[in-house]
Structure 1
């Protein structure tokens, strides 16, 4: 059996992603991770601290999956198109659960500044990736916004239709930015 910290974190990874932040209580995490309350608080001072660790781990997982999915792309255009295909793949694997970051953002109040900072930091890293690839500020912002809205709308409608339409728009953006 793994160590208590790993069990707490892997349990939180599943529960926060599937149930959301507010619907997941510390007692449920403690019970499902098979740890004592004292052990929980020995590793995490609060649910918020655990949430930040969850967001960092989720980001690492998501980025590694995205990089693996797009790794065989020969051009920037192909890489960007494959990144939208990745959203379709994630929807199929995770049953249209959407973006863990935006889901948590919608659940927490503005005064949870540390969590907000972590979410902004990771979203900015994604924006920077599009900026580096596209090398056109307006075009990369447009593609980033389509990417984020594709995640949201596919979750809302439980459909990949708008991801496919976004890909058509992205192709046009990439053609006109060169």
Structure 2
């Protein structure tokens, strides 16, 4: 008799990897990233230290995988939105991408930012999250330039300035007390209204 078709079964190695990541995620949320060590992660995941270190050399490597998994829903959401919104003015599409980014980041404050900062060789604007945002914004602004929807602009520099404005969202929200509405309105004035070609 044939087995019921469904999602492919995970390999033993993938099951262990997911247990490690889920255990680390729970510990990071409960105790803070800095307070958690590899021994605690192995114990909660119920894997041996040797098994853990075969997959992850240090805690920062675990952090990197967690960040990638946490960010994937945002990547998917942005791609789906852009695929379905080709008829919308390009700067409006860019602003919607910014909204999605800020909303996602706010929902993950502060723990995802702490996890990101614990990744090896942490360079915030070179992380997968910001690389994805960089590529998306460059593509949209280049398209806007080609279509004459924006004034003459240095796309590469403009995107880097936008990323610099976005990269400390957790600090702006938590420590400086700015609301999400304030942040988004400010970004809209500078990077959307400020770039529109004036008739």
Deviation at 1:20, TM superposition (A): 4.8
Is 1:76 paired with 2:90? yes
- Report the counterpart of residue 89 of structure 1 in structure 2: 103
Query: 1:169 is paired with a residue of what secondary structure?
Result: helix
Contact preservation (8 Å) 1:18, 1:97: no
Please list the CA deviations of residues 87-109 of structure 1 after superposition, one character each: whole Å capped at 9, or x if unmatched.
45325643x33763x7643x57x
Instruction: State the TM-score, normalized to the length of structure 1.
Output: 0.69
Q: Which entry has the higher C-alpha Rg, 1 or 2?
A: 2
Against the structure 1 CA distance between its residues 5 and 68, is the aligned structure 2 distance closer, same or farther, given a 3 Å change threshold?
A: same
Contact preservation (8 Å) 2:125, 2:167: no
Deviation at 1:151, TM superposition (A): 5.3
Number of aligned residue pairs: give it.
Answer: 170
Match of 2:59 among 39, 47, 50: 47
Return 162-171 or 54-63, whichever deviates more.
Answer: 54-63
Against the structure 1 CA distance between its residues 81 and 103, is the aligned structure 2 distance closer, same or farther, given a 3 Å change threshold?
A: same
Instruction: State the TM-score, normalized to the length of structure 2.
Output: 0.63
Return 130-139 or 16-25, whichever deviates more.
Answer: 16-25
Deviation at 1:115, TM superposition (A): 3.1
CA distance in 1, matches of 2:126, 2:163: 14
Match of 2:165 among 138, 146, 158: 146
Return 37-46 or 116-125, whichever deviates more.
Answer: 116-125
Return 76-85 or 41-50, whichever deviates more.
Answer: 41-50
For structure 2, which runs of at least 5 residues remain unmatched after alignment? Answer: 1-9, 143-154
1:111-150 matched pairs, under 5 angstroms: 114-116=120-122, 120=126, 122=128, 123-135=130-142, 136-150=155-169
Please list the CA deviations of residues 7-51 of structure 1 after superposition, one character each: whole Å capped at 9, or x if unmatched.
102333454467553232223322332323233223223223323
CA distance in 1, matches of 2:198, 2:162: 11
Structure whose residues are more often helix by fraction: 1
CA distance in 1, matches of 2:161, 2:194: 8
Against the structure 1 CA distance between its residues 167 and 150, is the aligned structure 2 distance closer, same or farther, given a 3 Å change threshold?
A: farther
For structure 1, which runs of at least 5 residues remain unmatched after alignment? Answer: 109-113
Against the structure 1 CA distance between its residues 33 and 177, is the aligned structure 2 distance closer, same or farther, given a 3 Å change threshold?
A: farther
- Report the counterpart of residue 172 of structure 1 in structure 2: 193
Deviation at 1:175, TM superposition (A): 0.6
Query: 2:33 is paired with a residue of what secondary structure?
Result: coil
Q: CA RMSD in A?
A: 3.6
